[in-house]
A and B are shown apart, each in its own frame.
Chain A
């Protein structure tokens, strides 16, 4: 079946540090891969996505590359800001899974000045 394994948090970084949040998945077929972000007091928002192998999703300085060979979709940002403090969720959605997204457990990131 489908599942997502995500790096556990919480993660605390200083401003301008490099961020990596690991995400690996298991899925049947060729799923689409997503990173969602939840800022304090707000709903989940789509941060970036990739729909096929070797695609790179990017937004707001964040990047993630769809690696089929390692079944990974690690989230990276070269220089984090305090405003990036949030909970990040990795997710997959397959063409054969209907409405079912498979989410990771979420990784809480706190960036300190």
Chain B
């Protein structure tokens, strides 16, 4: 089946630094990818929709200047957490829609971000 690769799986960084998370669709071209975030004991929440070749669409309450999304190719979307703070510590997961697979969503394995 279709595979979405996400890395790193775990990252620890100092407060104030930026962290980039990559999401790749390995065997299909994804014009649309999604980024989710899950805080401990809370639900996965959609942060933004990443569209290849255009600006991402952010959900209400998500700071676009803090969470930079780039979808420069049909197989790669990146999420950069800029000037990370401890409150950004969370589980981030991406997903990609396979246009040839009846629009099925395939998820990456997630990135656990810990900001010290």
A residues bordering B, Cβ < 8 Å? 3-4, 36, 38, 41-46, 89, 91, 99-106
Given the complex of chains A and B, what is the CA–CA distance between A12 and B104 in angstroms? 31
Main secondary structure of the interface of A (DSSP, over half): strand
- Are A101 and B46 in contact, with the CB atoms below 8 A? yes
Select one of A42, A46, A100, A105 contacting B105, CB under 8 A: A46
Given the complex of chains A and B, what is the CA–CA distance between A42 and B110 in angstroms? 8
- Are A43 and B49 in contact, with the CB atoms below 8 A? no
Question: Given A46-B104, A105-B42, is A100 in contact with B59 using a C-beta cutoff of 8 Å?
Answer: yes
- Are B109 and A42 in contact, with the CB atoms below 8 A? yes
Q: Which residue of B lies closest to A41 (CB)?
A: B109
Some 8 contacts from A to B, beta carbons below 8 A apart, are A38-B110, A41-B109, A43-B4, A43-B95, A99-B32, A99-B34, A103-B45, A105-B42
Among A3, A44, A91, residue most surrounded by chain B Cβ atoms (within 10 Å): A44
Closest CB-CB distance, B110 to chain A, in whole Å?
7
Select one of B9, B41, B109 contacting A105, CB under 8 A: B41
Contacts of A43 in B (CB 8 A): 4, 6, 93, 95, 106-110
Closest CB-CB distance, A7 to chain B, in whole Å?
13
Given the complex of chains A and B, what is the CA–CA distance between A25 and B116 in angstroms? 36
Contacts of A101 in B (CB 8 A): 44, 46
Select one of A41, A89, A100 contacting B46, CB under 8 A: A100
Contacts of A41 in B (CB 8 A): 9, 109
Given the complex of chains A and B, what is the CA–CA distance between A41 and B106 in angstroms? 15
| Per-position 1/0 for B1-40, Cβ under 8 A of A | 0001010010000000000000000000000101010100
